[in-house]
Amino acid sequence: MGFAKYFEKDLLALNKLMSSDSDRFIKEKLNNQLICLEFDDQYHSSYEAKCCLELLISIIARLYPRISFKCDLIGAEKTITKLSKYAKKINKEIDIENDKTPSIILSTCKKPKQLKGEIRFYLGSDNWTALFSTTRPQSFAFSKNPFGASIAACIAASNLFRSVFEKELKFTIDDNVRFSILDQYYGANFNIKTENLDLDEFDLVGIGAIGSATVWALSKLKGLKGRINLIDHEKLDKSNLQRYILFNETDENKWKVDVAKKHLNDNKFKPVSYKKKWANYIGEDYKGSCTSKMVLVAVDSKEERINIQSSLPQKIINAYTDDSRVGISRHLNFIEDSCLACIYIPTKEEKGDLTLMVESLNLKGQENFLYKYLQPSNKIDHEFIDKYSEKNDLEKNSLKEYIGKNLTDFYSEVICGYKVLELKDSKLVEKVDVPLSFQSALAGILLAAELVIEKSEFSRKQNFDVTQWQILAKINKENPGNFNYIKNLSKNCICGDSDYQDVYKKKWNI
Ligand SMILES: [Zn+2]
């Protein structure tokens, strides 16, 4: 079967979503699908169509084990071979079955030849506007703007997923979508250019599931000028591939920032990589005082987000995924707007790290024992492995590889990584939040789009702190939703602190 070598991570995401622990059922369901990607001459004539199809392959090949390509043009074999190679780079195991009848066709064709009984989802785009339909063919405009096209790919991937798991998820699919991410309104029709932009200098923190999609989107913009500081302290792990759309199997064990840098090398746009965490980045390179005018936040922890806000960059745009949501929050003025910490500062009711860890590791009553291992000098040892495997009824030999590692690494690999499925403990699976690839892709692309919009000084009809998508629900006037946060709601946020305000004002001449 053509499942990706990192498929365990896909299963983790699916199990979480469906509260089902039947791996075999999910695998069978996916293996019964043959997903066909259909294209026409727009692939060669429209940059938007090319971006759309490429992203679609990158998303689909990470989850589905069988795909096919269809194109009625004479001489299409060459392009099909090229696209097949691309899919194989993402998932070496994938089966490409061009001669079989597909179960569903994702069509980027203007006028597809349709046979009776075929199920098609149609994709298209017009600059910033994503087009999707289950009933009518769509087309692509001829701009160099990748945004509408890539959002259309995410919307189509979500609809495909919803249609495959229609019974289990009880969600409905979209009929016709025309959505501009420029104004974040359903049916809006504005335009600003995306070519030859000067993005000045900015930081992208986190080249993970979201950040890698941001880099992908930026790499598709033509003639960029400026400098991007890429900040991430990790190498690419096999399990990351499930949703990191920029990366393929040959990138395993490479530094994430290095791969990202390679994709962004353009003569007037300078990518600079930093293999470190945010705190070390501002500490070592800026001597503790952050001078970043614009920070794109694509990290996955609240603490890291609060750290970034506390260092007082001038402007922050943040992207997130949680449960079935994708969101963007904008923090462009620390004095007047709600800050990033306003959203992420823990309320009293929220559980601390240790409590969460105790629960996830199923080590209730062992708080003191666990606390000992939270000290950086105390590494995982035999005593820990014995206790953990006994409490969770696991084979301890399978955990020996973690001896000598930090508890936080153990926690993130065993609980948040794919290891838990190898260990076959479905109780733990329910506690893990693993986004689907189109969900992270959407978040990252929206983050890049927000930067472009901010730099273009485009003024929206109304400005909101947060735009949030329900990724598995129909797109309509309420989805995505826009809303504002009340500044300093928690009463103890740093943006309500006069010392922080003074530093910010002085630093940014306000
Ligand atoms: Zn605040």
Going from the Cα of 499 to the center of ligand 1, the distance in angstroms, rounded, reads 13
Going from the Cα of 497 to the center of ligand 1, the distance in angstroms, rounded, reads 9
277 within some domain: yes
Residues 340, 206: one domain? yes
Provide the CATH number for the domain around residue 111.
Answer: 3.40.50.720
Output the pLDDT for position 417: 43
Residues 320, 450: one domain? yes
Residues 236, 299: one domain? yes
1 within some domain: no
Residues 244, 330: one domain? yes
Neighbours of ion ligand 1 (CB under 5 A): 339, 341-342, 493, 495
Q: What residues make up the domain containing 492? A: 198-346+439-507
d(CA 276, CA 274): 6
DSSP secondary structure of 433-459 = ----HHHHHHHHHHHHHHHHHHHTT--
Q: Could you say which of 429, 456, 478 is where a domain stops?
A: 429
- How much is the pTM? 0.84
Residues 340, 481: one domain? yes
Q: How many CB atoms lie within 10 A of CB 252?
A: 15
Going from the Cα of 331 to the center of ligand 1, the distance in angstroms, rounded, reads 9
Structure tokens at 136: 């009518």
Residues 265, 403: one domain? no
Can you tell me which residue has the tokens 């598995």?
472
Cβ neighbours of residue 465 closer than 8 Å, sequence gap 6 or more: 329, 330, 331, 337, 338, 483, 484, 485
47 within some domain: yes
Q: Sort 138 into a burial class: Cβ within 10 Å, 0-12 / 13-18 / 19+.
A: buried
H or E segment and range at residue 90: helix 77-90
Residues 293, 422: one domain? no
CA-nearest of 398, 396, 368 to 383 is 396
Contact yes or no for 473/243 (Cβ under 8 A): no
d(CA 223, CA 354): 47
pLDDT in tens, 21-57: 567 778 888 999 999 999 999 999 999 999 999 999 9
Q: How many CB atoms lie within 10 A of CB 404?
A: 10
d(CA 337, CA 355): 32
Residues 410, 313: one domain? no
What does the pLDDT profile of the chain (510 residues) look like in tens digits? 788 888 877 777 776 666 555 677 788 889 999 999 999 999 999 999 999 999 999 999 999 999 999 999 999 999 999 999 999 999 999 999 999 999 999 999 999 998 888 999 999 999 999 999 999 999 999 999 999 999 999 999 999 998 988 887 777 899 999 999 887 766 666 788 888 899 999 999 999 999 999 999 999 999 999 999 999 999 999 888 989 999 999 999 999 999 999 999 877 899 999 999 999 999 876 666 788 999 999 998 888 998 999 999 999 999 999 877 899 999 999 999 899 988 876 554 444 566 667 777 777 777 778 777 877 778 889 998 888 888 877 777 777 878 888 887 777 666 554 344 333 333 333 434 557 899 999 999 999 999 999 998 888 878 888 999 988 889 998 899 988 877 765 557 888 888 899 999 999 998
Helices and strands per DSSP (H, E), number in the chain: 20, 16
Domain count, the chain: 3
DSSP secondary structure of 338-402 = --HHHHHSPPTTSPPHHHHHHHHTT-TT-HHHHHHHHSTT----HHHHHHHHHHTT--GGGGGGG
Going from the Cα of 407 to the center of ligand 1, the distance in angstroms, rounded, reads 31
H or E segment and range at residue 68: strand 66-70
Residues 419, 444: one domain? no
Residues 151, 254: one domain? no
DSSP secondary structure of 147-197 = HHHHHHHHHHHHHHHHHHTHHHH-PPPPSEEEEETTTTEET-------SS-
Going from the Cα of 464 to the center of ligand 1, the distance in angstroms, rounded, reads 15
Going from the Cα of 217 to the center of ligand 1, the distance in angstroms, rounded, reads 29
Residues 408, 451: one domain? no
- Report helix, strand or coil for 471: coil
Q: How many CB atoms lie within 10 A of CB 311?
A: 18
Q: Could you say which of 429, 458, 486 is where a domain stops?
A: 429
Residues 161, 205: one domain? no
